[in-house]
Amino acid sequence: MALEDFRPDMERCSQCSYCKFVPLDQIKSRRFSKGCPSIAYNNFNAYSARGRFAVALSLINKESEYTEKVQDIVFKCCLCGSCDVADKICRYNLEPLQMMHELRTRLVEDGQLLPQHMAIIDNLRKEDNMMMEKKANRGDWAEGLDVKLITKEPAEVLFHAGCRYSYDKALWPTVRNAVTIMKNAGVNIGIMGNDESCCGARAYYMGYHGEFVKFAENAIEMWKAAGVKTVVTSCADGYHAFTRLYPRLGAHFEVLHTVQYIERLINQGKLKLTKTVPIRVTYHDPCHLGRQGEPYIPWEGKEKKIFNQVVVYEPRKPRYNGAWGVYETPRNILKSIPGLELVEMERIKEYAWCCGAGGGVKEAYPDFSNWTATERIEEAKSTGAEAIVSACGWCERNFLDAISTAGDKMQVFDIVDLVKQAMQPARRKG
């Protein structure tokens, strides 16, 4: 869709400001009642979905021009989708998140580029990753694992490590554990090693749509050539790309997040969690596995007016309010670990507060990103948990950085780390 296709949404925003908060009936305290990190941090209306609708309308009406402030407003947003969930309460089923993606794409097409993003995209073009690293080192995380290289030997299941896990050494145990668990359970699993490339999702989030298409088409072609049937990833961004963005480009693979594959193995009796892990944890829903992880088919209907007044959609426009994201699977796994106590934060599932690593803000606005993660750690601490657990390397890295900045004692785990611990002792990340 083009930015102009969202004109009706821009014009119908009722200025109610629901997009700034967790829906009223879900609020448990004033302290944790906010939903949008961008407006909470910047405290100015333009930095909300409501404000961005107004900015976009003004731009397409040619009533305003690009300025540094406009760039700041457009890019200082985690694209977490909390506003999109809140917006589904509204009469018109508005889609601010899709509009904001289109707005970024428009700015990039018009040469309104953030220098921090440009450097990363430049490296992506040369080295196929978003971490400013070398392609030749991409497969180092799997050294000594004795796992098939899918380009040399066929395997039914491809494990995609993703950029963050491939290059962030502190997070290597998570992906090594994931592969080991699946291999030991008899799964015919392979990886791509140095031939794996970025999924393209984070380029898409930064507004570089062309880069995303290039990387997605390349991945689809390689998977087809290797005879892959199922793709598994521990990265929530990758999961989002493979389930929601790739199908638009003709991908038809089974895609599972590692937690979904682990739950399958537990249900099949191929994985048993028997060792006690005496720890109190709270679970952070990654935005791209949670509210943005629900099945999504872009609506391509028409709207019409009854009595020239009441707007209706034909065919009926689905309300994607995030309710069908991957929420129970991670919780089921955690609850099946002997001795582990799961305590919930106030904002969970489709109402979860973002970790602050998304939408290119960790790269361009590290202070905002760190503040957003610190807010989440404060919420986690309020539960009395000793550790915050998640299922995405980007969330885990941002939490580790925020904890280190604040000198906090909260531990960070991926679910896979705790699963491995319930099978045999595992080490804490740092």
Q: Which residues bind ligand SF4 (CB under 6 A)?
A: 13-19, 35-38, 48-50, 53, 77-83, 86-87, 90, 94, 96-97
State which residue, 50 or 160, has the beta carbon closest to ligand SF4: 50
Helix (H) or strand (E) holding 310: strand 310-314
State which residue, 41 or 261, has the beta carbon closest to ligand SF4: 41
- Residue 63 DSSP label: S
Strands, E assignment, 146-286: 148-149, 157-160, 189-191, 230-233, 254-257, 279-283
Using CB atoms within 10 A of its CB, is residue 283 exposed (0-12), middle (13-18) or buried (19+)? buried
387: β partners: 281, 411
d(Cα 150, Cα 137) in Å, to the nearest integer? 17
d(Cα 219, Cα 345) in Å, to the nearest integer? 37
State which residue, 94 or 235, has the beta carbon closest to ligand SF4: 94
State which residue, 84 or 196, has the beta carbon closest to ligand SF4: 84
**Rounded least distance, CB 54 to ligand SF4, Å:** 9
What would the two tokens of residue 287 be? 């935005």
Q: Are 356 and 369 in contact (CB under 8 A)?
A: yes
Q: Are 19 and 49 in contact (CB under 8 A)?
A: yes
**Rounded least distance, CB 168 to ligand SF4, Å:** 24
CB atoms within 10 A of CB 95: 22
d(Cα 101, Cα 104) in Å, to the nearest integer? 5
State which residue, 15 or 43, has the beta carbon closest to ligand SF4: 15
State which residue, 81 or 139, has the beta carbon closest to ligand SF4: 81
Q: What is the largest CA-CA distance in the chain?
A: 69
State which residue, 9 or 127, has the beta carbon closest to ligand SF4: 9
State which residue, 57 or 178, has the beta carbon closest to ligand SF4: 57
**Rounded least distance, CB 51 to ligand SF4, Å:** 8
Helix (H) or strand (E) holding 304: strand 302-306
**Rounded least distance, CB 354 to ligand SF4, Å:** 6
**Rounded least distance, CB 52 to ligand SF4, Å:** 6
- Residue 413 DSSP label: E
d(Cα 410, Cα 381) in Å, to the nearest integer? 8
State which residue, 105 or 197, has the beta carbon closest to ligand SF4: 105
What would the two tokens of residue 242 be? 């493979």
CA contacts within 13 A on the Cβ side of 256? 19
**Rounded least distance, CB 104 to ligand SF4, Å:** 11
